[in-house]
Structure 1
Amino acid sequence: MNTEQYERMGQGLGFVAALDQSGGSTPGALKRYGIEPDSYSGDDEMFDLVHAYRTRIITSSAFSGDKILAAILFEQTMNRDIDGIDVPDFLWHVKGVVPILKVDKGLAEAADGARVMKPMPELDALLEHALSKHVFGTKMRSFVQAANEAGIDAVLDQQFEVGRRILDAGLVPILEPEVDIKASDKAEAEALVTEGILSRLGSLPQGQRVMLKLTIPSDPDLYADLVAHPSVLRVVALSGGYSRDEANRLLAQNHGVIASFSRALTEGLRVDQSDAQFDATLAASIGSIYEASIT
């Protein structure tokens, strides 16, 4: 494991850029960027377009390790290059940004108010490949839709089970049991998720640490015990559909929690902007998210 990356993720000032839209969410990401679905045909062309978009973000003068600690990548992005350099190596050696890989394969159907992750039969091979690409850690998302103990237990049991496999492989996992911001009992669900995580952290191997990616809580500083826990390297928050301004406002109320925003990060970026306009828009976004992350 890269000690410099480990210390940066644990102690550095900044936030995590989530650039990991996969097949299902890519059309929406491109549409917000100004590329309509009828302007391309087939997955290959779609993924070429989104890679060009991500490359524009990563190579922007606004995107650097000064304010961004890490970037979460889709598997296909990990396997591509920027200027002839593998994307994970470009992030770390050119930009000073730690590379992290999304490893889940999407969500199963809802049961007990939650959606666990689909099976990942090729996980071990993917983790081995990620190590060969000099990736530091992983991210995997589940979805909690209600304060249902059975559903939350299923989500957390799976997250920790897979998380231990990732630790055994030599990578640092980000566990992401997202709570739906539209849930009528959002605060109750977040409290159950927090309690469930705290009760499971003791099951981790001695000296091993995970990261957590959680919904910005309805009750500020709900995650204080997680932030302080010796088995937690970092707690990051997802924007979850909030606008950037709202996500920043809410995040700033949670001390020690940093952003891991996707849609909120890229809000306002358009394919028809000049490079100067694009860089200025991205710089303003990064600056505001950074400020909310250092409270």
Structure 2
Amino acid sequence: MTQTDKAAKIRAGQGFIAALDQSGGSTPKALRLYGIEEDRYSGETEMFDLIHAMRARIVRAPAFTGEAVIGAILFEQTMDREFEGAPSATYLWETKGVVPFLKIDKGLEEAANGVQLMKPMPDLDATLARAVEKGIFGTKERSVVGAANAEGIEAIVAQQFAVGNQVLAHGLIPILEPEVTISIADKAEAEAMLRDAILKHLDTLPEGTEIMLKLTLPEEPNFYAPLVDHPKVMSVVALSGGYSRDEANDRLSKNRGVIASFSRALTEGLSDAQDDDAFNGELGKTIESIRAASVAG
């Protein structure tokens, strides 16, 4: 199956993209929400083994298939590991029908001009080459908008597109993720600046190329419709951003053509202590609710 087949699956948009890409900084919280406190592991190796076991349990669940979960974003370590004895990206696509993506950013710089840019990625070309070898379809890179600051937002979008062009050069599809913090007082103003900056930079992309966007659910329904409809945008996906799953699903359902790419909202209600029947039942209900909200708009 080729990149073309995977692209067709994403374009059809009949489901959502699972974000299974917690990194070193966010893994302790993800494990804690899953019921694993820090006294149950010692050091990063044990921590990453436990989060991989959680991810493996999620992806092998009966409801986790391409009928509802059209894509999954992986942490780099996950790409290099296995699910059910097969390379993770291979398992996702060939067994589950789920398109694999790779998180490529290395975390955030300190805040300046109301935003947090991405830290440098000096080994990115080597990582992208490995991703291609492993059957990855695309990538995801996150930075954060913390204020309606025009200079900062322009800088964040310029950086996202620069890295996105580097990804495109390897034949992969980049998901650009300039996340707007949901708690800021000037969220709507920041979203307006962000949308304008993205539209301007989309015009600089070479003809025939496409990117994806991962954005915070906007204050105004369908605010990102010009991005959804843009010929150089394959798909617009939404992060849950700290909203509860119910609120995230409600906001998502009001945005035409936008599908979910949830992380914490996907794992909400799951626990290490659950037996497989309880775990799979809870995850099944969650997957159906997110899929329904994704295709409702």
Paired residue for 2:265? 264
CA contact (8 A) 2:13 2:295 kept: no
The residue type equivalent to 1:70 in the other structure is G
- Is 1:237 matched up with 2:238? yes
1:57 CA drift (Å): 0.2
Alignment TM-score, normalising by the size of structure 1: 0.99
What SS does the corresponding residue of 1:261 show, helix, strand or coil? Answer: coil
For residues 194 and 51 of structure 1, the distance between their equivalents in structure 2, rounded to whole angstroms, comes to: 35
- Is 1:123 matched up with 2:124? yes
- Matched residue pairs, number? 295
Alignment TM-score, normalising by the size of structure 2: 0.99
Paired residue for 2:287? 286
1:10 CA drift (Å): 1.1
CA contact (8 A) 2:214 2:237 kept: yes
Paired residue for 1:275? 276
- Is 1:159 matched up with 2:160? yes
Paired residue for 1:31? 32
What SS does the corresponding residue of 1:169 show, helix, strand or coil? Answer: coil
1:283 CA drift (Å): 0.5
Paired residue for 2:215? 214
For residues 170 and 88 of structure 2, the distance between their equivalents in structure 1, rounded to whole angstroms, comes to: 21
- Is 1:249 matched up with 2:250? yes
The residue type equivalent to 2:134 in the other structure is K
For residues 128 and 294 of structure 1, the distance between their equivalents in structure 2, rounded to whole angstroms, comes to: 33
- Is 1:172 matched up with 2:163? no
1:117 CA drift (Å): 0.1
The residue type equivalent to 2:178 in the other structure is P
What SS does the corresponding residue of 1:101 show, helix, strand or coil? Answer: strand
1:12 CA drift (Å): 3.2
What SS does the corresponding residue of 2:204 show, helix, strand or coil? Answer: coil
How much identity, in percent, do the aligned residues show? 58
* CA deviation map 1:207-240 (0-9, x unaligned): 0000000000001100101000000000000000
CA contact (8 A) 2:222 2:254 kept: yes
For residues 148 and 13 of structure 2, the distance between their equivalents in structure 1, rounded to whole angstroms, comes to: 33
CA contact (8 A) 2:240 2:261 kept: yes
Paired residue for 1:144? 145
1:271 CA drift (Å): 0.3
* CA deviation map 1:134-183 (0-9, x unaligned): 00000000100000001101100000011011001110000000000011
The residue type equivalent to 1:268 in the other structure is G
Paired residue for 1:74? 75
* CA deviation map 1:109-143 (0-9, x unaligned): 00000000000000000000000110000000010
* CA deviation map 1:23-73 (0-9, x unaligned): 000000000000000111000000000100000000011111110110000
For residues 196 and 284 of structure 1, the distance between their equivalents in structure 2, rounded to whole angstroms, comes to: 37
What SS does the corresponding residue of 2:57 show, helix, strand or coil? Answer: helix
Structure 1 residue ranges (4+ consecutive) displaced by more than 3 angstroms after TM superposition = none
For residues 155 and 39 of structure 2, the distance between their equivalents in structure 1, rounded to whole angstroms, comes to: 39
CA contact (8 A) 2:13 2:259 kept: no
For residues 83 and 245 of structure 2, the distance between their equivalents in structure 1, rounded to whole angstroms, comes to: 28
1:90 CA drift (Å): 0.3
